[in-house]
Structure 1
Amino acid sequence: MKFKKAWVLSASALAALVLLSACGSGNGNNGGGSADTGSAPADEPKVELSIWHNFSGDDLRAQTMRGLIEQYVAAHPEVKVDVQAIPPDGYKQRLKTVAAANEMPDLFLSNPGSMIAEFYNGDLLQPIGDLLEQYPEWRDGFLPGAFEGHTFDGEIYAAPVNLSPSSIMYYNHSLFEQYDVKVPTTWDELMTAIETFNANGITPISMGNKAAWVAQSTIIGTLADRVTGSEWFLSAVEQDGAAFTDPQFVEALGYFKQLADAEAFQDGANSIDNTQAEQYFIQGNAAMTLGGTWTLTNLAATASEEALEQVGVTVFPAIPGGAGDPNTITASTGQGFAMNKDVTGAQREAALDLIYTISGPEAQQQIAQSNTLVNYQVEVDPAKVTPLFNKTYELVTSVGFTPIYDAYLSSAGTEAVNNGLQELMLGGDPETVAQKIQNAQAEAVGN
C-alpha cells in the first residue's frame, strides 16, 4: 500500500476542505442485525441487494443514515434490500471475515486509506466513476481532496458521507472556571490541569478505550504528530527512512504514558466504551474528553441544551520542542460506501442508485443537519444544529489536518498501536511497545 501524501494543510486550505457555509456478490446473511426490506408482487422479478454499515446507534447521524436507506427502500419496491447494521467496534473484523470467505456484501461502508486499500489490493472492489459522471453537479460539489482516501490508480471507489476529525478536545467551561484552571495550550498546562482536577475529585480526561481504537484515534495520533511531525509518520508507515523504534516516537509514547501515570483517565478506562465515556463527560464527571465528529452527533442526541452550552472545543496542547505543528487535529476525508466487484447488471444499477440516495446532495444536507461535518458544499441553518456544532465548525476551519494513524497503518500495525496503548495504560514500557509496533508494520510492508 502506498499512502505517501502530505496531510498537513494550511488554515486557508482547510477552510476550503472542511464543509459548510454557516448560514459472487455477497448474500449478506452472515449474522448481525438484519432488515429484509422491499416488497413487490410475487410474480415480479426482484433485484436483490445487500448493504452493510455501522450506523447501529441512536445518535442523530446514525438515525439519518438509516433513514436515507429506508428512503431508498420505500422508493424502490422492485429491489429487495438486505440491510446489516453492525456495531462499530466489531465492524471491521466482520468485513475481514466475510472477505476471506468471498462473501462480501454488495455495498459496505468503508474508511478511507488503509481500510479500503486492503479491499482494493485484494481485488474485491469496483470503481464508481460512472455514477460521478452521471451526476456532475454532485461530483463537483465535493470539497478539494474529498476523494483522496478512496482513490486508487486514478479511479474513485467511494464518495464520502462525512468529514472525520478525530482529536478535538472537548472541555467543560464550568469546571475549568470553578477550579480556576487554564484551558491548556502547553504540555505543562495540561499536566497542571490534570493535577488540579484530580485533587478535587474530578476526572481530568474521560476516555472509553474498551475497543482499543479510541486512544489511538483521539490521542496518540495528534500527540505523536506534535512530537514527530507528519512526514516522519508517513515515512515510518512505508518503512522508508523511519521506524517506530526511532527516539522521537518512543518519546511520544512516553508522553502518553505520562498521562496514564498521572491518572489523567478515569479508573477502568479500558473497560468502558466510547459512548459511556462521552456520557461520563457530559454529566460533569470529567473536565475533558477527546473525540471527533461522532462526538458532536452523539451529544446532540443525548445531552441537554444546558449541558451542551458548557462545552468548549480546542486542540490538543503543544509539546515542547516537537517537530509537528501544534495548531492541527487528526482527520480523514470521511467514510464512503464501496461496491463489491461482482455486482453487475440490474443489481449494479440498483447499487449505484442506492449510493446516490445516501451520498447525494440532499443526503449531504441531511447528514450535516444531524450535527455531522461533511466533505461537501452545503449550507446549514445555525438554528438547526447545536451551538457545539457551530463552535466545532469554527475550530476546524482555523486549523490544519494531520494523519489519523489507522487510516495509514496496516491492520497489523494499527492493532499493535491499539494494544500497545492499552499496555502503556497498565504500566507498560514505551520502548517495548514501540518495538512491537515496528515489528508489525515492517512485516506488513514486507521489510
Structure 2
Amino acid sequence: MNKWISMLCAVSLLALLLAGCGGNGADEKNGGNGDKVSITIWHNWTGQDAKAVAMRQIIEDFQADNPDIEVIDEGIPTDGLKTRLRTVAAADEMPDLFVMWPDAMTKEFVKGGLLQPINDELDAKPEWKNNFIPNALDGYTVDGNIYSVPMNLAPSSFIYYNDALFKEHGVKVPETWEELEAAVQTFKEKNVIPIVLGNKANWVAQSTLFSTLADRITGTDWFLKTVEQDGAKFTDPEFVEALTKLKQLGELGAFQEGFNSIDETQMMQLYFQGKAAMVINGGWALANLVNNAPPEVLDNTHITILPAIEGGKGDPGTTAGVVGTGLGVSKKLTGSKKEAAMKLFYEMAGPDGQKATLNSSTLVSYNIELDKSQAHPLFVELYDLMQEVKITPVYDSKLGSAVVEVVNNGLQELLDGGKPEDIAKKIQDAQAAAVAN
C-alpha cells in the first residue's frame, strides 16, 4: 500500500510540475517573463486624414516587423484623449506610450511623477536629436530633462478660404481687420456662412482663432508676463479689447447659428459642402482637406493668416501654435517593455516617422526638405507660407488645464452674449490662483 501511495504522489508531483511549465508558457505568450512583450499606446489618429492613416500604418508595419512585440493600440479622438489621460493620470495608471502635448500638459505630468525622460535615447542617436528645428524640444524639456520630441508642427490659426466664393461675390481676401469685417457682412447678405465654426468642444475658438487674435492686440510679451502674473493681468485693457473684438465678430454674424453645438469635424464638413467662405483652423486641417474635400472645394481652397489689427502691439506676421504633439513614456516602464516601447517611439518620431508625417501633408518640427513635385499643391502653399510666418504661443499650451477650461468656457459665454470684462475677471482669478498654488 505504501508503495502505491508513493507512486501516486510521484505522478501527482510530476503533473503539477508539467502544469506549472505549461502555465509559464502561456504567460510568455501573453507578455509575461518570456520573449513576447506587450505594450500599450493611446493616440488620436482616428480619422481618415492622411496623417492619421500614415501613423496607423507605421504601427501596423511595426507589428509585422516585430512579431515578438504585441502592440495594443487604442485610438481616441483628441478631445476624449485629453480627458482620459487626465483621468488615468489622477489614478497613476498611464498607458505605456501616449500622445501628449508640450508645455503645460508635459509639465503637469512630470510634476505628477508620471513620465520618464528620454535623454539617454536621444543622446545615443545624435543625428536624430540634432536635426530638430531650433527650440523644438523646449516644450518637452523640464529641469534639463527631455520627455518627448514633437511629431509634427502645429500652427493653430490659418484662414482656409474658398476663392471661388470670394470671386463669385466680389469679395477681397482680407489683409486688414476692417476688410475681414466687410467680407463677413457681404457673405452674410449673400446667405453664405462667412466663417464656419464648430466650438462644441470649446477649445476650437480659443486655439484656432482667439490665441492669434489676442496676440495681434496684446503682443506676445504681455501674454507671457500674464502667464507668470508678472506685471500684467488678464483684466488689463488690451486683453479686454481682444475679447471685445471677438465678441463684435460674432455679433456681425461671422459664424453660423448653433456654432457651439457642432464639433470640429462637422465644422470641416460644412466647409467641404461649399456652404462657408472661410474656416479658421490649424495646419493639421490640411491633411483632412487633401484627403476628404471634394475637388470643387479643394481646388479652390487657399490659405492666409489672420489679418493685421490697427494699433495692435503684436506682430501681424504670426500665427499661434506649438511644435506639435509627442509621445509620453510611462515612468513605470522598465526592462524589455521599455526597450520595446522606445523601439516603437523611434519608428514613429524618428527620421522615418518624420518623413512619413511630412509626406502626409503635415508640417514637421524636423529638418527635412519637402519634395514639392510629389506634394499636394495646397500643402506646398502652406509649407511656403510657414517659411515666412512666425509662431506665437497658443493659449492652451502655456496655461494649466484648469485655467484653459476657464478660458474656453469663457469664450463660449462671450460669443453667447457675455460681457468681456466679466470673462476677463474669471480668467484672471483662475490664473492668479494657479500661480499662487
* TM-score above 0.5, yes or no: yes
Q: Please state how far the C-alpha of 1:257 moved relative to its aligned partner.
A: 0.2
Aligned to 1:435: 425
Q: Distance in 2 between matches of 1:285 and 1:58?
A: 22
Q: Secondary structure at the match of 2:180?
A: helix
Q: Is the 8 A contact 1:40 1:77 kept in 2?
A: no
Q: Which runs of 5+ in 1 are unaligned?
A: 1-37
Q: Secondary structure at the match of 1:161?
A: coil
Choose from 43, 52, 68 the match for 1:78.
68
Q: Is the 8 A contact 1:229 1:324 kept in 2?
A: yes
Q: Is the 8 A contact 2:155 2:282 kept in 1?
A: yes
Q: Please state how far the C-alpha of 1:306 moved relative to its aligned partner.
A: 3.8
Give RMSD over aligned pairs. Answer: 1.7
Larger Rg: 2
Aligned to 2:298: 308
Q: Distance in 2 between matches of 1:169 and 1:227?
A: 18
Q: Secondary structure at the match of 1:66?
A: helix
Choose from 45, 48, 54 the match for 1:64.
54
Cα offsets for 1:249-287 (capped at 9, x unmatched): 011000000011111001111111111111211322111
Q: Please state how far the C-alpha of 1:291 moved relative to its aligned partner.
A: 0.9
Residues 431 and 78 from structure 1, CA distance in 2 versus in 1: closer, same or farther, beyond 3 angstroms? same
Cα offsets for 1:147-170 (capped at 9, x unmatched): 111011111110111000000111
Aligned to 1:251: 241
Residues 398 and 80 from structure 1, CA distance in 2 versus in 1: closer, same or farther, beyond 3 angstroms? same
Q: Secondary structure at the match of 1:371?
A: coil
Aligned to 1:20: none
Identity of paired residues, percent? Answer: 51
Q: Distance in 2 between matches of 1:246 and 1:117?
A: 27
Query: Which range moved further: 161-170 or 83-92?
Result: 83-92
Structure with greater helix percent: 2
Aligned to 1:230: 220
Q: Is the 8 A contact 1:229 1:325 kept in 2?
A: yes
- Greater relative contact order, per chain length (Cα 8 Å cut-off, separation 6+): 1
Choose from 314, 338, 345 the match for 1:348.
338
Q: Is the 8 A contact 2:54 2:357 kept in 1?
A: yes
Q: Distance in 2 between matches of 1:42 and 1:322?
A: 61
Aligned to 2:179: 189
Query: Which range moved further: 406-415 or 273-282?
Result: 273-282
Aligned to 1:410: 400
Q: Please state how far the C-alpha of 1:327 moved relative to its aligned partner.
A: 1.0
Q: Distance in 1 between matches of 2:91 and 2:80?
A: 17
Q: Distance in 2 between matches of 1:139 and 1:39?
A: 35
For the pair 1:325 / 2:301, whether they are aligned, the reply is: no
Aligned to 2:366: 376
Aligned to 2:121: 131
Q: Please state how far the C-alpha of 1:232 moved relative to its aligned partner.
A: 0.5
TM-score by length of 1: 0.89
Query: Which range moved further: 135-144 or 359-368?
Result: 135-144
- Name the amino acid aligned to 2:326: G
Query: Which range moved further: 215-224 or 314-323?
Result: 314-323
Q: Please state how far the C-alpha of 1:411 moved relative to its aligned partner.
A: 0.7
Aligned to 1:163: 153
- Name the amino acid aligned to 1:427: G
Aligned to 2:166: 176
Number of residue-to-residue matches in the alignment:
410
Moved over 4 A (4+): 38-44
Q: Is the 8 A contact 1:39 1:79 kept in 2?
A: no
Aligned to 2:210: 220
